């Protein structure tokens, strides 16, 4: 390999954490865009709402477990045993949570295809845990290959639907869930082979691990109440504002999730080091400052591109058919909400390693309650003015809340390490 090729390969490896962090959001966008050309408008509104809603529920069923897994990998070399324990949690406790929240969502949003939604939530959760294993051991090449495999499976599934003309939201959800299950199985097999090659001793995992049920649940709820809000909003808008706003919100949630995940890619690359520093209570502030600079550059560059991409696609694909002005302002407010939330992404990760799960939970639950109360007001007092209130006021108040949360997290992190 020549020197120039080696240099390009090293750059590719250095950028892989960002690519793999953005790939789940990119995959969701591709699925939504292709499905939009397969399904009828009413079916698309149902599918987009259920797909984004399942992505939100993964915050509860999968993200908490995945975060605990990364934290444990940093302190334990028996990585595959830890992965098995995490997967046991997802398919027992996580399955129970998925059933409860999907039934509740079905009742609240007049949903359909409950079994498909549960399957999609569980498959997405298991895939998230498997992804976090490779992040924890910093094997981003294997993670990249798994994401490419998943994207290929999903595209083949959608092409199959197009060829057979089985254009129903139920069929799309079933095949998407199956694709996540198959990709997840490949990742588990790859993890097993890597651990055996490294000579790792595989032990029987702990079947009932209280850390997952306590810390993992708090972390999951915190993520659901913060990042998951953007995925819940489309279902709320479907009920309160109609199909057009709901599809636009689903597209925005998927497009802007790339902005939300790209900074996480930078954080993922340093997550093991940060967890180790915090465990030893020797946080390197200069190291953190350099990470923040990288995060800010990504947010400033990517945000306008994502906004233009969402609005352009919505306009060209006739998603926006009526009030362009209202749709533009609505999308601008959603964009601001997502961007401001990313300003504190580093602190949002560190706060969990500082054992401040309860603080994060209470802060994020407050934001969720704001959205829930607004939704209930719209249901109890239906009317045009209240719909405008919901679609304009909620993103604005959430943006202000995320600024306050960032300040509070920074203050508590400084307090934890003030004695070092």
pLDDT given for residue 250 in this prediction: 73
The DSSP code sequence of 129-194 is HHHHHHHHTT-HHHHHHHHHHHHHHHHHHHHHHHHHT---HHHHHHHHHHHHHHHHHHHHHHHHHH
Q: How confident is the model at residue 1 (pLDDT cuts 50, 70, 90)?
A: low
Average pLDDT of every residue of the chain: 76
pLDDT given for residue 73 in this prediction: 74
Rg, the chain, Cα only = 21
Report the length, in residues, of the chain: 420
25-83 pLDDT, tens digit per residue, is 778 878 877 887 777 777 777 777 778 777 777 777 777 777 777 777 766 666 777 77
Spatial distance between the Cα atoms of 245 and 247, rounded to a whole number of angstroms: 6
Residue with tokens 């027992």: 92
pLDDT given for residue 327 in this prediction: 75
Q: How confident is the model at residue 388 (pLDDT cuts 50, 70, 90)?
A: low
Whether pLDDT at 382 is above 70: no
Q: How confident is the model at residue 22 (pLDDT cuts 50, 70, 90)?
A: confident
Whether pLDDT at 334 is above 70: yes
Mean pLDDT across 97-108: 75
Q: How confident is the model at residue 418 (pLDDT cuts 50, 70, 90)?
A: low
Range from 43-47, 164-168, 301-305, 355-359 that averages highest in pLDDT: 301-305
- Which range (166-170, 198-202, 304-308) has the least confidence? 166-170
Spatial distance between the Cα atoms of 153 and 177, rounded to a whole number of angstroms: 11
Hey, how many other C-beta atoms are within 10 angstroms of the C-beta on 381? 10
**DSSP reduced 3-state for 384:** helix
Mean pLDDT across 248-268: 73
Residue with tokens 């058919």: 321
Q: How confident is the model at residue 404 (pLDDT cuts 50, 70, 90)?
A: confident
Answer for the pair 55, 123: CB distance below 8 angstroms, yes or no: no
289-308 pLDDT, tens digit per residue, is 888 888 888 888 888 888 88
307-317 pLDDT, tens digit per residue, is 888 888 777 77
pLDDT given for residue 111 in this prediction: 58
Tokens matching residue 66: 């995945």
173-188 pLDDT, tens digit per residue, is 888 888 999 988 998 8
Spatial distance between the Cα atoms of 63 and 216, rounded to a whole number of angstroms: 8
Whether pLDDT at 282 is above 60: yes
pLDDT given for residue 235 in this prediction: 66
pTM of the model: 0.68
pLDDT given for residue 167 in this prediction: 58
Tokens matching residue 53: 């809603």
211-249 pLDDT, tens digit per residue, is 666 777 777 777 777 666 766 666 666 666 666 777 777
Between vectors from CA 36 to CA 100 and to CA 113, what angle results, nearest 5°? 25
Answer for the pair 283, 420: CB distance below 8 angstroms, yes or no: yes
pLDDT given for residue 375 in this prediction: 72
Mean pLDDT across 99-117: 72
pLDDT given for residue 2 in this prediction: 61
Answer for the pair 418, 283: CB distance below 8 angstroms, yes or no: no
Q: How confident is the model at residue 387 (pLDDT cuts 50, 70, 90)?
A: low
Mean pLDDT across 251-273: 72
pLDDT given for residue 400 in this prediction: 84
DSSP 8-state code for residue 60: I
Q: How confident is the model at residue 5 (pLDDT cuts 50, 70, 90)?
A: low
Mean pLDDT across 328-337: 80
Answer for the pair 123, 188: CB distance below 8 angstroms, yes or no: no
CA distances to 296, 360, 400 from 339, in Å: 10, 19, 12
Answer for the pair 74, 279: CB distance below 8 angstroms, yes or no: yes
Spatial distance between the Cα atoms of 328 and 308, rounded to a whole number of angstroms: 10
């Amino acid at each position: 390999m020549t020197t120039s090729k080696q240099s390009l390969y090293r750059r590719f490896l250095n950028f892989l954490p960002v690519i793999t962090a953005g790939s789940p959001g990119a995959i969701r966008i591709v699925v939504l865009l292709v499905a939009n050309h397969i399904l009828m408008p009413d079916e698309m509104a149902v599918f987009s709402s259920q797909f984004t809603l399942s992505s939100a529920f993964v915050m509860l069923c999968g993200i908490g477990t995945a975060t605990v897994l990364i934290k444990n990998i940093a302190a334990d070399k028996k990585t595959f045993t830890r992965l098995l324990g995490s997967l046991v949690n997802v398919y027992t406790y996580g399955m129970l949570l998925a059933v409860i929240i999907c039934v509740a969502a079905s009742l609240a949003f007049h949903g359909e295809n409950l079994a498909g939604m549960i399957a999609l939530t569980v498959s997405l959760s298991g895939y998230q845990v498997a992804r976090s294993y490779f992040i924890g051991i910093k094997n981003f090449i294997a993670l990249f290959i798994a994401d490419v495999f998943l994207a290929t499976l999903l595209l083949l599934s959608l092409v199959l639907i197009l060829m057979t003309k089985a254009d129903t939201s139920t069929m799309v959800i079933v095949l998407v869930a199956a694709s996540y299950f198959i990709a997840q199985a490949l990742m588990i097999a790859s993890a097993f082979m890597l651990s055996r090659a490294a000579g790792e001793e595989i032990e029987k995992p702990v079947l009932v691990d209280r850390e997952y049920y306590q810390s993992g649940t708090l972390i999951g709820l915190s993520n659901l109440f913060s990042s998951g809000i953007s995925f819940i909003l489309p279902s709320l808008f479907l009920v309160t504002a109609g199909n057009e706003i709901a599809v636009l919100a689903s597209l925005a949630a998927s497009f802007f999730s790339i902005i939300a995940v790209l900074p996480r890619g930078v954080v993922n690359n340093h997550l093991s080091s940060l967890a180790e520093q915090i465990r030893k209570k020797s946080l390197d502030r200069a190291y953190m400052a350099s990470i923040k600079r990288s995060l800010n550059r990504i947010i400033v560059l990517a945000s306008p591109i994502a906004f233009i991409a969402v609005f352009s696609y919505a306009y060209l694909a006739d998603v926006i058919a009526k009030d362009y002005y209202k749709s533009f302002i609505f999308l601008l407010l959603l964009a601001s909400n997502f961007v401001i939330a990313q300003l504190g992404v580093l602190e949002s990760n560190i706060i969990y390693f500082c054992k401040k799960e309860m603080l994060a939970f209470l802060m994020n639950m407050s934001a969720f309650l704001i959205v829930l109360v607004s939704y209930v007001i719209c249901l109890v007092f239906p009317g045009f003015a209240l719909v405008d209130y919901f679609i304009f006021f909620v993103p604005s108040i959430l943006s202000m809340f995320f600024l306050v949360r960032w300040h509070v997290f920074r203050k508590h992190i400084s307090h934890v390490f003030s004695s070092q």
